[in-house]
Every structure is written in structure tokens, then in C-alpha cells.
Amino acid sequence: MFKFFSNSFDNFKKKIANTATALVNNVVDNISEEENFSEFVLDDMEDLLISADLGVNYSSELVDKLRNQDKIKPKDVKNYLKSEFKNVLNADTDLKYTDNELNIYFIAGVNGAGKTTLIGKLAYRFKQEGKKVLIAAGDTFRAAAEEQLDIWSKRAGADIVRRDKADPASVVYESIQKAKSENYDVILVDTAGRLQNKFNLMEELSKIKNVIDKNAPENLRECILVLDANTGQNGLQQAKVFTKAINITSVALTKLDGSAKGGIILAIAKEMNLPVKLVGIGERMEDLKNFDNEEFINALFD
């Protein structure tokens, strides 16, 4: 298990205040004073949950449980949501890490989601922990991508394998050879952003991943899908497509700072069975948090 030092609870609470408003306070304010869960009230509640990015299926499931029962009253809606959300967020959210072995993290996601920034932040955190870190510049597609990664690697104090405009699969292959012969603890693999509806781009992604599967399968620790919190429900769609192409093991949700769409964390857990393990809460190198189920619930409800 690998723990990052984390930002304070108060800071986290501030960063997700908009999500708390959308997901909890709005619902409580609109529902809790009602007498009963009439169809009208239930419809209202469902709309509020959908607009807080819980997704249609999960929102209607939450509302269905309140129909034709009289144990839970509208005044209990806050506690009801809290216990439901707790049940959904039950996966282990610790980023996998094995001491004294090479740990490879494969990072994928659509354009601009925050992949390269995440790699910079992760490199920094691993370096702070005294690890030997190698970044594989697998985005050889976008102009200036390698330059951007180079800047992050210098900032973090990590090494980089960069072969201008080379085939990304060969960059990853070379990184694995270097890391094995020079005893690195960590490889972070950056990949080019891609539209999830472009078949050949997704094919290319699985080709890059195959290089790891062939040359260091026991070292692949996580395949992380990077999602921009602001894309909301579209993130679910992205998760489905990426999971088909490569076996995603966890999600890093970026740009949660200021976003009101953090409800997507619950939708991803519920519909995809994928844990969010990392959250980006700003553009600086330190603005990365380990996601913690209980802390998230507390920050939403308390």
C-alpha cells in the first residue's frame, strides 16, 4: 500500500463545496420540508439527483426505494442519501504499489482531461517518498506534448524517456528495459489524448498497452483512466469505451476544484464498478489527493 501525504480536510471540503451543494444541499433544501414522498416530490428529487450527475439509472433507483414505504420521511432525506452513498463507495481506493518491485502506471484519457498534469503530480509525490521515477513520454502525437512532459519531469525531479515523434510503443518498450536494468521503482506512462469514438486511436492505445503486457505484465500496477470532473455524465461514456480497449483498474478525477459535478464519482462506482483513487484539486504539483471514501462522504454531508 502506498499512501500520499494529503491536504487538509478543510481544504478538501472547500474544493468540493459546489459538488456538495448540487448533490446534497439542493436536494435536502427542496425535499426535507415535504410531508410525504408523493409522486410529485419523488419526481422532483429524481430530477435534482440527475442534474447532480448521478446518472438516470442510479437516480431512479434511489428514488424507487422511497416509493410505497413510510419508514423514511422527507425530513430524513439527508441521512438516507448518506447511507446510500456509503454503501456504493465501498471499494479499496489505495493506489496499488509494491515495495522493491517496478511499479508501472498506465495513464489514458480523452484530450485535455489532465493526464500529463497527473503524471507530473504523481512523479512529484513518488519522488517525495524517495522513489526512483521514470516517465515514459508516450504522447508523441500532439505537438509540444513531449516538451510539456519534460518540464514536469524536471520540476518533479524524475527521469524521462523521450524520443521525438517516435512510435509510442517503442518509447514504452525502451522505458521498461531502462527501468529494469537501472532498478527504477516507478514508470509513469503518458499517452496521447484521444477521442473515445475514434476506433483507430483506441486500437493504438491497446497496442501500447500490449507492450507492457508482453514485457512486464507482473509490474503493471494500475491502468488509470483520467476523467475531467466537468464532463459529468460524459465521463461514464468515456469509462465504458476505454474499459473495452484496455482494462481500466481505477479512475483519477481531475479538476474537481470548483466543479459541481463530483457526483460522477458515485455514478462511476455504481455503474462501472470502478473506484476513483485519485482526485486533482488544482493545477499545482501538490494539488493531488488520495481519494478516501469516508472523507468524501464527510466532506459532502458534514
Ligand X SMILES: Nc1nc2c(ncn2[C@@H]2O[C@H](COP(=O)(O)OP(=O)(O)OP(=O)(O)O)[C@@H](O)[C@H]2O)c(=O)[nH]1
Interface ranges with Mg ion (CB under 5 A):
115-116
Q: Which residue is nearest to Mg ion (CB)?
A: 116
Residues 63-122 that bind ligand X (CB under 6 A): 109, 111-117
Give the shortest CB-109-to-ligand X separation in angstroms.
6
State how far the alpha carbon of 124 is from the alpha carbons of 107, 284, 295, in Å: 16, 11, 23
Q: Is the Cβ–Cβ distance between 300 and 11 less than 8 Å?
A: no
Q: Give the nearest distance from C-beta 119 to ligand X in angstroms.
A: 8
Q: Is 288 helix (H, G, I), strand (E, B) or coil?
A: strand
Return the number of the residue (67 or 142) whose C-beta is nearest ligand X: 142
For residue 259, the minimal CB distance to ligand X (Å) is: 9
Under the binding rule (CB under 6 A), the answer on residue 277 touching ligand X is no
The closest of 231, 226, 213 to 274, measured between CA atoms, is 226
Residue closer to ligand X, measured from CB, 80 or 242? 242
Is residue 146 involved in binding ligand X (CB under 6 A)?
Answer: no
Around Cβ 171, how many Cβ atoms within 10 Å?
Answer: 24
In the complex with Mg ion, the residue whose CB is nearer, 121 or 270, is: 121
DSSP letters spanning 153-181: HHHHT-EEE--TT--HHHHHHHHHHHHHH
User: Taking CB under 6 A as the rule, does residue 139 contact ligand X?
Assistant: yes
Q: Which residue is nearest to ligand X (CB)?
A: 193
8-11: list long-range contacts, CB under 8 Å, 24+ apart: 9/295, 9/298, 9/299, 11/281
Binding partner at 49 among Mg ion, ligand X, none, C-beta below 5 to 8 Å by kind: none
Strands across the sheet containing 220-228: 159-161, 133-138, 186-191, 103-108, 220-228, 250-254, 276-280, 288-290
Residue 257 in the binding site for ligand X (CB under 6 A): yes
Interacting residue ranges for ligand X, rule: CB under 6 A:
109, 111-117, 139, 142, 145, 193, 254-255, 257, 280-283, 287
